[in-house]
Structure 1
Amino acid sequence: MLQIYNTLNRRKEPFKPLKAGHVGLYVCGITVYDECHVGHGRVMIVYDVLFRHLQSAGYLVNYVRNITDVDDKIIKRAAEQNVTPGQLSQRYIEKMHADERALNVLPPVHEPRATESIKSMVRIIGQLIESGHAYAADNGDVFYSVKSFAEYGKLSGRKVDELRAGERVAVDEYKRDPLDFVLWKSSKPGEPSWPSPWGDGRPGWHIECSAMSMDLLGEEFDIHGGGADLQFPHHENEIAQSEALTGGRFARYWMHNGLVRIGDEKMSKSLNNFMTIGDVLAHYSGEEIRTFIIGSHYRSPLNYTTEALLAARTALRRFYTALRGRPVDREALTQASTAVDTTALDAGYLERFEAAMDDDLNTPEALAVLHELANSLNKEADLESAVSRKLASTLVYLGGRLGVLDKDPEVMLQGEASEDGPSAAQIDTLIKERQAARAAKDFSRSDQIRDELAAQGVVLEDAGGKTTWRRD
């Protein structure tokens, strides 16, 4: 049974969905005012792995990941670039989708935009005012009253009195309490706005997720995910406003992935120490970036280093090298996970992989299973034996569960030539010349060809009377 570390209760818990066979999953998405960085990529990949794992377990998953397309940062950046906020957000939504495709991230079932859910937000805010949990200020803003919700702080473990005494909170003369947070912002000249009973304006950030999740998953759902930096105040505020509205529980399990760090600081746009996904894709493949991210447990901090990315590249090449030349029915293994005939796979490796993934998505341990599987595969000299076929199929299937190993090994290992590197045809010609030299016992020329290719980043591998090559 899947065990999930529930931030709300600070322990691993068996996962039991509200409705048998169904899972409602909501993940806080991106505020689209700039390109996505590696920290955003980690959110995409972590919950994509969860999505895949739940589907493979036979669940029908209603996966919702929102887009915040109205926000102070979006408005400010649009003004700087002399475009409308809608034009700016659309540009970065398209770039975000391109990044997701490069990282082999499956699209969620629903991807609501904040601007499409304004009516729901206005309705919820009105109900919170009626029930005494929110109030309209004289300036047209609407605030949530934190003291009206007795359980405020239960997710983060922070106490209201301590927050008032020691935390830096937004100061606003119109708030009744410094901890109160905005649900509706009155519009300023030139800003996008929508009508409401309290005047034209736009929603605060926190109310967006409550409205969109309830619209698509209901008042109570199974799993709410996001980055650790959202635990407080964003997720805390979501709970407060949602549970005050319904009188019941909001999300049953709260999952938070650790942050990506550069040195001793988290990667963020506000600190200007971030690497965009596009920046990294210029030097590493999406599959290499994905392997780097799943190489650490999702709850742990992830240190962004060149060494770690190169280690991910090495691991991938090792897997693909083990698969090279071995017949695998990829189409059968990459269909809907529940439709795969797992009886044709190695039961021992499959069981160990499932155990790792059921242990709070322990992807490092799952990757260790793949490494052992590659070791076993490399010992099978007969590429087409029954054992070889079973092991190779298992490696491809389990890799697919993690969103990797979906390429033809030859294509992946040989890659594309650099501008000054030899083409595949040139390499094949040199290999034939080398074979002729070896047949003529001209080992000096044979070694020279090997060295020339190695100097150009091409590695020759002799096995079973054949020579294969890969780009290094």
Structure 2
Amino acid sequence: MQIYLYNTLTRQKEAFTPRDPQRVTLYVCGPTVYNFAHIGNARPVVVFDTLYRLLQRAYPNVVYVRNVTDVDDKINAAAQAENVPIGTITERYYEVYRADMAALGALPPSMEPKVTQHIAAIVSMIERLIANGHAYEAEGHVLFNVPSFAAYGQLSRRARDEMIAGARVDVAPYKRDPADFVLWKPSPPDLPGWDSPWGRGRPGWHIECSAMIERNLGPDTIDIHGGGHDLIFPHHENEIAQSTCAHGGRLFCRYWMHNGFVNVDAEKMSKSLGNVLLVHDLLQTAPGEAIRLALLSAHYRQPLDWTDAGLKDAKAQLDRLYRALDALKDVEAPAAPAAPAAFLAALADDLNTPKALAELHQLANAANKATDTAERARLKGELLAAGWLLGLLQQDPSVWLKGEVAKAAIAPEEIEGLIARRHAARARKDWAESDRIRDELAARGILLEDKAGQTTWRVAS
């Protein structure tokens, strides 16, 4: 299976060829843990988890690293507000983040390195950049010398003036060039800091990822680097400059991937508009799997418009898919099922999840019509295999379908009793009573389905 990925660096879709097929490397910028994650933070997690699953299907060993930023000015501010060490803040929100992302069906990465565990690696990389003329010390700061790297701007393709403005950098008097950015900065006594050759201080944002990639994936060129579209500049642009210069000009990364923004009801998500949706809150109102499907409903490179209606539709889609699986409970799926070729082709085409989801529904439709036992078993295996690649359909169908019964204010035992009474009415051809029981259940949020002499029920979407 040939995988094709859109490379932000080249602005085109390319056949994916890893540096070493026996060890595929993937790095994704992770959370800054000072608050709950919002739905925009969750999109790259779901997108790159889907890529991780696809790569695992194609290669024997995929090393997926997603970092944790646990020292940052926002973390410092939160810790000072509560008068606690930064570790109290970061551990609290890191655990919530991991739980929330797991609820969205995200697999744990191979590694989740933390910045505070890599201070020595950061200092070492900065020392090398100074030694080879790509960085300099000034008034307790260490800055990267942007003019020393001629290819600066290759990822974002911005003009120099636009880059300086877009980076929102402080044009301090100690800078040699306005575009130079901080690798190390001094820490006053009331802020976290570490000893270094340049005094007590803390790292700049960009150098952290470069050092963690080198320490956890090695100094060789990595295969894929991912993150949100907002990270292209300055963060990923600066990573390229630092890592390339620290490694003697060696190519830093082969493929750059970036997901689009999440808007809410066609508006940009922002605190000022009061429309920031936290994953932790959404999980109180909708299953994590439905949130995941909603995030996969648009192609990852396109903006995603988040709406209540879209989330409700995602839940309804999952209900239909789980009903198809539940109808196959009498057949055993093959031991090692494979997703069908059309589904795999959609995912391999730059993670075309809308098309992959359409193929998943086609599978469910075929399963609903199939009568041959062998065909039904095959389709069940294909549904499960395709679902796994999308991080969907991994629950017991009966548990999923009956999970909303409490909201219908009726116990399963009462439902089954009414169904039995309806069967008795139908047996004596009392169609009026049969219809009355069906309508009573429908009014209480329970829909009946008669098929092949059997009656099944589900909670109305």
Give the secondary-structure state (helix, strand or coil) at the position aligned to 2:68: strand
Of 74-83 and 147-156, deviating more is 74-83
**What TM-score do the two structures reach when normalised by structure 1?**
0.92
Give deviations 1:381-419, integer Å, cap 9, x for gaps: x3x711111112111111111110111221111114336
Structure 1 gap ranges (5+): 334-339, 343-348
Match of 1:458 among 426, 442, 446: 446
Give the secondary-structure state (helix, strand or coil) at the position aligned to 1:29: coil
Match of 1:362 among 343, 352, 373: 352
In 1, Cα distance between the equivalents of 2:305 and 2:97? 22
Aligned pairs for 1:266-285 (under 5 A) are 266-267=268-269, 273-285=275-287
In 2, Cα distance between the equivalents of 1:170 and 1:207? 17
Deviation at 1:249, TM superposition (A): 0.8
Q: Which residue pairs with 1:350 in the alignment?
A: 340
Q: Which residue pairs with 2:50 in the alignment?
A: 49
For the aligned residues, what is the CA RMSD? 1.9
Deviation at 1:372, TM superposition (A): 1.2
In 1, Cα distance between the equivalents of 2:405 and 2:161? 62
Q: Which residue pairs with 2:214 in the alignment?
A: 214
CA contact (8 A) 2:129 2:245 kept: yes
Give the secondary-structure state (helix, strand or coil) at the position aligned to 2:17: coil
Q: Which residue pairs with 1:439 in the alignment?
A: 427
Q: Which residue pairs with 2:382 in the alignment?
A: 394
Closer, same or farther in 2 for the Cα pair 1:158/1:32, shift >3 Å? same
1:163 is the counterpart of 2:163: yes
Aligned pairs for 1:324-335 (under 5 A) are 324-326=326-328, 327=330, 329=332
In 1, Cα distance between the equivalents of 2:134 and 2:201? 20
Closer, same or farther in 2 for the Cα pair 1:196/1:379, shift >3 Å? same
Q: Which residue pairs with 1:336 in the alignment?
A: none
CA contact (8 A) 2:331 2:373 kept: no
Match of 1:312 among 311, 314, 326: 314
Q: Which residue pairs with 1:323 in the alignment?
A: 325
Deviation at 1:51, TM superposition (A): 0.5
In 2, Cα distance between the equivalents of 1:420 and 1:355? 40
Amino acid at match of 1:158: R
1:189 is the counterpart of 2:189: yes
Q: Which residue pairs with 1:377 in the alignment?
A: 367
Structure 2 gap ranges (5+): none
Q: Which residue pairs with 2:107 in the alignment?
A: 106
Deviation at 1:143, TM superposition (A): 1.2
Deviation at 1:263, TM superposition (A): 3.9
Give deviations 1:191-222, integer Å, cap 9, x for gaps: 11110010111111100000001111122211
Give deviations 1:30-70, integer Å, cap 9, x for gaps: 00010111111111111100000000013310110000000
Aligned pairs for 1:31-180 (under 5 A) are 31-138=32-139, 140-164=140-164, 168-180=168-180
Give the secondary-structure state (helix, strand or coil) at the position aligned to 1:30: coil
Runs of 4+ with >6 A deviation: none
In 1, Cα distance between the equivalents of 2:24 and 2:167? 36
CA contact (8 A) 1:32 1:74 kept: yes
1:250 is the counterpart of 2:252: yes
Amino acid at match of 1:298: Y
**What TM-score do the two structures reach when normalised by structure 2?**
0.95
Amino acid at match of 2:313: A
Deviation at 1:455, TM superposition (A): 1.9
CA contact (8 A) 1:136 1:198 kept: yes
Q: Which residue pairs with 2:203 in the alignment?
A: 203
In 1, Cα distance between the equivalents of 2:30 and 2:415? 45
Amino acid at match of 1:364: P
Closer, same or farther in 2 for the Cα pair 1:84/1:130, shift >3 Å? same
Of 196-205 and 123-132, deviating more is 123-132
Aligned pairs for 1:225-240 (under 5 A) are 225-240=226-241
Amino acid at match of 2:136: Y
Closer, same or farther in 2 for the Cα pair 1:268/1:26, shift >3 Å? farther
Q: Which residue pairs with 1:337 in the alignment?
A: none
CA contact (8 A) 1:152 1:160 kept: no
CA contact (8 A) 1:320 1:405 kept: yes
CA contact (8 A) 1:259 1:267 kept: no
CA contact (8 A) 2:166 2:234 kept: no
Closer, same or farther in 2 for the Cα pair 1:231/1:270, shift >3 Å? farther
In 1, Cα distance between the equivalents of 2:45 and 2:25? 17
In 1, Cα distance between the equivalents of 2:58 and 2:271? 37
Of 156-165 and 42-51, deviating more is 156-165
In 1, Cα distance between the equivalents of 2:261 and 2:166? 24
In 1, Cα distance between the equivalents of 2:96 and 2:83? 19
Of 281-290 and 66-75, deviating more is 281-290
Give deviations 1:418-464, integer Å, cap 9, x for gaps: 36711111211121122222223333332222222222211111111
Amino acid at match of 2:208: E
Give the secondary-structure state (helix, strand or coil) at the position aligned to 1:63: strand
In 2, Cα distance between the equivalents of 1:463 and 1:35? 46
